[in-house]
Structure 1
Amino acid sequence: MPEKSLKRSINFSPETLKALDTLAAKNNTTTSELVRQFVEKGLSIEGYTQDIDFIARIIRQELMAVYHLEDIKSVVEQQTNRIAKMHMKSGKIDAAAFFLLIKVLMNIAHEGTEDQFDQMLNEAITLGVDYMQKKDFQINSFLQDTDNLRRLAEKL
């Protein structure tokens, strides 16, 4: 035997009531049926949200029981420090190579003036900065375009 429905009186603004009537007509149903569908859907969403929150709490609790946050932080910090030290070493060797290259160029570039050498150095630094600003996916194609690399080097 179907469950007896109970009646409730609900007030809507004229705009909301008009929108409900229009949508009900569009869906070939009554406004009452449309409101019942909305209420049932809203209740199921609220229940679903409560279920998700409950499940998320359980998962968080289980993860915290297995993985201790302090241990994770410690490992991440160690690895971050290791990468930072490696990066510093790389930066130091890059700087040394840069200044060695300048010294070598100064020793072999006796043909130009000091201003020409300074201009060449500034343009090389500008190209280096431009290179460092490229995205990872751009680097390979940039380095494989030998014609462009040659043009850039000739500008120096």
Structure 2
Amino acid sequence: MRNPTIIGLKPEDCKLIAEKLNVLLANYSIFYQNTRGAHWNIKGNDFFTLHPKFEELYNSLVLKIDEIAERILTLDGTPNHNYSDYLELSTIKESKEVTDGTKCVQNILSSFKIVIDLQRDLLEVTEKAGDEGTNSQMSDYITEQEKDVWMYNAYLGK
């Protein structure tokens, strides 16, 4: 492991963090595909509201997927890339409900809860390891996503 030594982290910490990032990557990948499905298939009175909002969200998710994979590589790990791996590792499940706006937003909120919890767990691990790079990345994601959760909850009238 050359990269951890160069960036000043212990190889065993990098291995653990990369494993946790692969779980996060799996969850983001399923979250992304569910959101794409909602964007493609949304129907009803809220179409013009939700269709572009879902596109905005999946564009944000795909950027994070790439950033997480690159962070895994920075830590000298290997990012998973198969959906079979994602389905095995992900707590977020594939959504079959992609036409009803309220159900789609509820699914999105459930997915945000899962990724935010995973990112908070990573904050603890990366803080102990002195991994400021991953810690900062997770902190930035959480800050953005807490606002998203507020906005999606406002849509539901909560």
Which of structures 1 and 2 has the bigger CA Rg? 1
TM-score, normalised via structure 1 length:
0.30
